[in-house]
């Protein structure tokens, strides 16, 4: 089935039609930069622009960086706070005229990796982390998702972990790969003590540079880069739209 997948991130929206049977993108991604925080109305207009770019009239799946319950955003850590308690499925449906399903963005990326990527066929406990503007998490057991885990907000030294281990933190603080990875390793070890994952998948654009920092990670569980890289969020969002 063909579904339009849209991945809303802290710095951009990306979308493309997806073949949900193969995970293949059916067209080149369309990207809209968001250097400033968008209001819900502005975000709806950006989603509408992506749909128009592809002349899309079918189902749409959208990954959103926050807790999603019943199509309603319960958090929006790196976005405009007016999204909180807003029915996103209604907002984006009214903007596009299409049937819309919304899912946490990291959960979307995890679904894609479990079906088509690094977690395919793994029935144990799998933890996926997306390292970008913030840190998203997706937790699976037996191939089943535990939604909205939000482990990026686990406290570390009095702050949300994502403030220290997100890819953006490395750039903002001008950290070397080894210094940043050392903090990331401490974070992963905390998660291991709590969850005992059998596989850890690291996603986000930075996963393409795994050769620069994986060597500094000393976790018990194997750590692997996401195979779908920046396409995971789009593919997973489309899978959510398919299951609507």
**Each residue's pLDDT expressed in tens, for the chain with a length of 244 residues:** 999 999 998 889 999 999 999 999 999 999 999 989 999 999 999 999 999 999 999 999 999 999 999 999 999 988 999 999 999 999 999 999 999 999 999 999 999 999 999 999 999 999 999 998 899 999 999 999 999 999 999 999 888 999 999 999 999 999 999 999 999 999 999 999 999 999 999 998 898 999 999 999 999 999 999 999 889 999 999 999 876 6
For the full predicted model, state whether its pTM sits above 0.85: yes
Tokens read off for 210: 């795994």
Tokens read off for 54: 């592809």
**Which residues are CB-contacts of 136 (< 8 A; sequence separation ≥ 6)?**
65, 104, 105, 106, 107, 109, 129, 130, 150, 152
Asked if 4 contacts 51 with a C-beta cutoff of 8 angstroms, the reply is yes
CATH number at 120-226? 3.30.420.40
Same fold flag, 2-107+232-243 and 120-226: yes
Class of domain 2-107+232-243: alpha beta
Delimit the domains of the chain by residue range: 2-107+232-243, 120-226
Q: How many angstroms separate the CA atoms of 238 and 99, rounded?
A: 12
Q: Phi and psi dihedrals of 44, rounded to 5?
A: -60, -40
């Amino acid at each position: 089935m063909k579904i339009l997948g849209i991945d809303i991130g802290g710095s951009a929206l990306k979308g493309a039609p997806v073949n949900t049977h193969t995970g293949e993108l059916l067209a080149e991604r369309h990207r809209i930069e968001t250097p400033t925080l968008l209001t819900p109305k502005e975000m709806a207009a950006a989603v509408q622009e992506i749909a128009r770019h592809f002349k899309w009239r079918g189902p749409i799946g959208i990954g959103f960086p926050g807790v999603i319950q019943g199509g309603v955003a319960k958090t929006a850590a790196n976005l405009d706070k007016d999204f909180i308690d807003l029915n996103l499925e209604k907002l984006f449906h009214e903007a596009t005229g299409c049937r819309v399903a919304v899912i946490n963005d990291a959960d979307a990326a995890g679904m894609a990796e479990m079906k088509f990527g690094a977690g395919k066929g793994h029935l144990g406990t799998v933890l996926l982390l997306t390292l970008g503007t913030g840190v998203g998490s997706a937790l699976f057991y037996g191939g089943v998702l535990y939604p909205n885990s939000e482990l990026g907000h686990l406290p570390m030294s009095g702050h949300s972990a994502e403030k220290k281990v997100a890819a953006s933190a490395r750039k903002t603080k001008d950290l070397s790969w080894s210094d940043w990875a050392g903090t990331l390793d401490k974070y992963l070890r905390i998660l291991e003590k709590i969850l005992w994952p059998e596989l850890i998948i690291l996603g986000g654009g930075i996963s393409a540079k795994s050769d620069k920092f994986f060597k500094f990670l000393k976790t018990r569980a194997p750590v692997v880069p996401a195979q779908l890289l920046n396409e995971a969020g789009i593919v997973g969002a489309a899978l959510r739209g398919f299951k609507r």
